[in-house]
A and B are shown apart, each in its own frame.
Chain A
């Protein structure tokens, strides 16, 4: 069982990396969070229902752990992970990336989207992570524990909010330069 579990985790490790990246800043914290996720996945394995896809169950456990972690640690408020010049995750001095990126990159829509998703409330962030991972509304509803209609409404509202926030940031920079 142990071997099978590890194979499944290995095949889907991207899920853990993506979630930890969105909920935690700093490599050490992300590693700690992934350890916690693995621990909870292993402990929860006897309750895994094969009627659901392994990845659905994995998302459920990992997101639950990530949300609880963030609420407990309170390390991430307003701070986001980003990629340094070598493409690795790095900590910014104050949660910004001005030391690492030229101005146009700091305010590139790609980075702004990451920033605004990271700043969402925990449940909204979990929802959007699933959406961006192209999970169906049905699967998102199963993982989150809300109705499909509710998923659709919330995704649409949050997307609008994100778009608006990105546009506002871009306008701000454009105004400055």
Chain B
């Protein structure tokens, strides 16, 4: 089977379709629809990569941040460990919300008139960027184990504070740093990574990461 034959097979299929007059029969509909869209200006794109996931994440994030803000603000600084820990968690979540909103805006601004590899790379990178935000969010973990600390707890726990509470915080801090450093594209195929991000909401992000690799291969870098 030579090259000519493949091309001939392709053309043969095209010819059969042309013969069936599918294009001509449907052409009027295409034009009419186009006119309607242009006139109403109510056209909405159905291409919203990751929009739903990020949209929900922002919605829930805002509720969570409001709750944290009320907690931290309501304390009026009476309990520094509480206010400090909740305040830091609050800031991490505000960062995530802003990052998600920015990513959503950038995805909507993608220029489909650029060349294919560049456009697809931008889209995939933006979709995969959720993971970058997630790894930063891991850094807030230790503060979930310090919000209930206070002077009475520290003084009253004695040795147990240093033997249990502090090591837990250190362990969480080390774990958070490890995840921050290791949640990368390079580790996407590792078992722990797949297990950690095993869920319907993560599959498009993992697919986007795989797609980035595919694009890189396609480019022949």
Contact = CB atoms under 8 A, between A and B. Distances in A.
Interface residues on A, range: 35 or more
Q: Is the interface of B mostly helix, strand, loop or mixed?
A: helix
Contacts of B67: none
Interface in B12-53: 12-14, 16-17, 19-23, 26-27, 30-31, 33-35, 37-38, 43, 45-49
B160 interface: no
A173 interface: no
Interface string B189-208: 00000000000000000010
Interface in B107-136: 111-120, 123
Contact of A47 (B19, B111, B211): B111
Nearest to B15: A110
B118 A109 contact: no
B26 to A, nearest CB: 8
A150 B111 contact: no
A144 B117 contact: yes
A132 B12 CA distance: 12
A75 interface: no
B34 A48 contact: no
A24 interface: no
Nearest to A163: B1
Contacts of B47: 36, 40, 65, 68-69, 72
A114 B9 CA distance: 9
A99 interface: no
Interface of B: 1, 3, 5-7, 9-10, 12-14, 16-17, 19-23, 26-27, 30-31, 33-35, 37-38, 43, 45-49, 111-120, 123, 207, 211, 214-215, 218-220
Given A39-B45, A88-B22, A123-B214, 5 more contacts: A13-B30, A65-B47, A122-B120, A145-B117, A154-B218
4 closest A-B pairs by CB: A87-B20, A145-B115, A145-B117, A44-B113
